[in-house]
Structure 1
Amino acid sequence: MFKSVALVGALAQVCLSQEFSLHARTLDGQSKHSLGIFNYDSDTHQITPLVAPPVVEDSIRQDVPYCIDADSKDPQLQQSCFTLMELETILHYNLVLSVDTDTNDIQKFSLIRNENATTIEPIVQDPAMAPVAPAVLLKKKTKTYADKKKDTAQGAEQFSKATEKSEEEEDDRNYLQKNWKQLVIGLVIYNVVTSIMKPKNEKKE
């Protein structure tokens, strides 16, 4: 019975702890460097270095981007080219594993330069959550009859002014062209009055 409990405990520990290796490779695959082997415990949310990165100062190519990969039997710890960067000859970096501690879901890997680090130092942290601005509810304004009447009057006035201005800008006729109707009416009245007055004058003579 004791052996069974011990075996179950050992299996549980194996399930909670997973190894993964870290390495850097060039995009063309010509150069590849081991950056160490680590163990991640999902129960305690801790990463323990198992194999330190070997000395790679002489073999790292300068001014060449490297893909940083994580290899593991655990699909969550299998991350291909999670960071693309130029490696320094001295490995002063933090390996940051972003983990949702409520669900144990691994969000992402990151390799970040840290001048104070003496090698690749692993860190587990919760994913950074950006602040979300609260939604602003717009108040609905109910217009009264007076408000609607005022808006209608203002709209009509603006339309009238715009129409008058348009007519003034477009009407470039001279005085005779604009007022020929009034002139014709006046001329007709004059002729009528003259024709009436003319017989009277002839009788007097």
Structure 2
Amino acid sequence: MKLLSTALLASVALCNELKLQLRNIETDMTVPWGFYNVDNVNLDASTLEPLSEERKDQGPYCVDALYNGKLIPCFSFLDVESPLHYNLVIDVHDQELKKLSLIHNPEVSGIEPRVRTPIEGPEPPAVKLKKTTKTYQDKKADKEATTAQFSSEDNEEENKTWFQKNWKVLLIGLVMYNVVAAMNKQEEVHQESEETQKPLID
């Protein structure tokens, strides 16, 4: 009997008290919002004092927590909706409280506490990186590929017709011809006008 009572006392001693309270942002007034028992060793949580159903706290609130007499201010900021459907997620690592969060869950009535511990993620397989060394044949193949690229550009240049290769020269010649022809025509017009203006001498 003594052993059983000692075990019960030890389990109670290992449990930690967690009280939630809503704090109005504008008035800074707080109201109790549930009382929970958290067992960090067995990773279990239970509700000691549930929320009263008559409470109709609605609107934006900060949710504070008192954990073993220590205040955790505004761990969650939420717009409270009635009826309540929240999971109180208590993240524990090395038997210490690390994080509190309220998660909306329509399948839950009220606030249901849940203890969560971090799990190890999968480790990627270690792949040994191989050092790539190029052989003489690889270097020669790379050089031939670049040479082939330049030679293909040269072949494209050779496949052009004479007109495609020399169109710029032809265009310059045509422009110069038109300029010279226009200048000659102006001189002819000028000479004709001078001849018509000369007085006739009998």
TM-score (norm. length: structure 2): 0.59
Range with greater deviation from structure 2 (153-162 or 134-143): 134-143
Residue number in structure 1 paired with 2:66: 71
Q: Aligned partners of 1:154, 1:147: CA distance in 2, in Å?
A: 11
Residue number in structure 1 paired with 2:39: 41
Q: Aligned partners of 1:112, 1:83: CA distance in 2, in Å?
A: 10
Q: Aligned partners of 1:98, 1:41: CA distance in 2, in Å?
A: 12
1:106 Cα deviation from its structure 2 partner = 2.6
Distance 1:92 1:145, change over 3 A: same
Alpha-carbon deviations, 1:88-119, whole Å to 9, x = none? 2122222121223xx22333212123334332
The aligned amino acid for 1:157 is A
Distance 1:155 1:132, change over 3 A: same
**Percent identical:** 33
The correspondence for 1:52, drawn from 50, 53, 58, is: 50
Indicate the RMSD between aligned Cα atoms, in angstroms: 3.9
Q: State whether structure 2 residue 91 is matched by structure 1 residue 95.
A: no
1:13 Cα deviation from its structure 2 partner = 5.9
Distance 1:157 1:26, change over 3 A: farther
The correspondence for 2:139, drawn from 144, 148, 154, is: 148
Residue number in structure 2 paired with 1:112: 103
Distance 1:92 1:149, change over 3 A: same
Distance 1:152 1:88, change over 3 A: same
Q: Which runs of 5+ in 1 are unaligned?
A: 178-205
TM-score (norm. length: structure 1): 0.58
